[in-house]
A = this chain, B = another copy of it.
Amino acid sequence: MSEAPAGAEGAGAEQVGAEHAGNPTRLYVRYRITGRDVAEVAEAIRVEQTIEFPVELAAPWIQDEVVGRVESVGPDSVEVSYAPGVLEGGLTQVLNVLWGNVSIFEGVRITEIRLPEGEVGLRGPRFGVAGIRERFAAPSRALLATALKPMGSSSAELAAVAGALAAAGIDVIKDDHSLGDQHWSTWHERVARCSEAVAEANARTGHRAVYMPSLNVPAPEIRERAHAAKELGAGALMALPGITGFDAMRALADDDELGLPMMSHPSMLGSLMVNRDQGISHGLVLGLLNRLAGADFAVFPNYGGRFGFSTGECAEIRDASAQQRGGLHSTIPSPGGGMTVERVPELLEFYGNDVALLIGGALHRGDLATNAARIREAIGS
Contact = CB atoms under 8 A, between A and B. Distances in A.
Nearest to A308: B106
Contact of A178 (B100, B275, B279, B307): B100
A244 B104 contact: no
A219 B247 contact: yes
Interface in A300-337: 301, 306-309
Contacts of A270: 101-105
A90 B271 CA distance: 22
A74 interface: no
Interface string A14-44: 0000000000000000000000000000001
Copies, count: 2
A88 B178 CA distance: 11
A240 B50 contact: no
B269 A217 contact: no
Contacts of A106: 274-275, 308
A45 to B, nearest CB: 11
Contacts of A245: 219, 243-245, 248
B219 A65 contact: no
Contacts of A10: none
A85 B184 contact: yes
A2 interface: no
Most chain B CB atoms below 10 A, which of A152, A153, A246, A360: A152
Interface string A243-269: 111111011000000000000001111
A66 interface: yes
A183 interface: yes
Interface stretch (A52-60, A123-131, A163-171, A347-355): A52-60
A207 to B, nearest CB: 24
A195 interface: no
A211 interface: no
A364 B50 CA distance: 17
Interface residues of A, number: 87
A265 to B, nearest CB: 9
A150 interface: yes
A278 interface: yes
B240 A180 contact: no
Nearest to A309: B104
Interface stretch (A91-99, A198-206, A370-378): A91-99
B152 A269 contact: no
A128 to B, nearest CB: 23
B251 A247 contact: no
Contacts of A95: 243, 268
A244 B247 contact: yes
A219 B248 contact: yes
A251 B49 CA distance: 27
Interface string A168-199: 00000000111011111001000000000000
A152 B248 contact: no
Given A100-B267, A248-B245, A218 B152 contact: no
15 contacts: A51-B152, A51-B176, A89-B181, A89-B217, A93-B216, A96-B216, A96-B240, A96-B268, A97-B178, A100-B177, A100-B240, A100-B242, A100-B268, A101-B267, A243-B245
Interface of A: 44, 49-54, 57-59, 61-62, 65-66, 85-86, 88-93, 95-97, 99-106, 147, 149-153, 176-178, 180-184, 187, 216-220, 222-223, 240, 242-248, 250-251, 266-275, 278-280, 301, 306-309, 360-361, 364-365
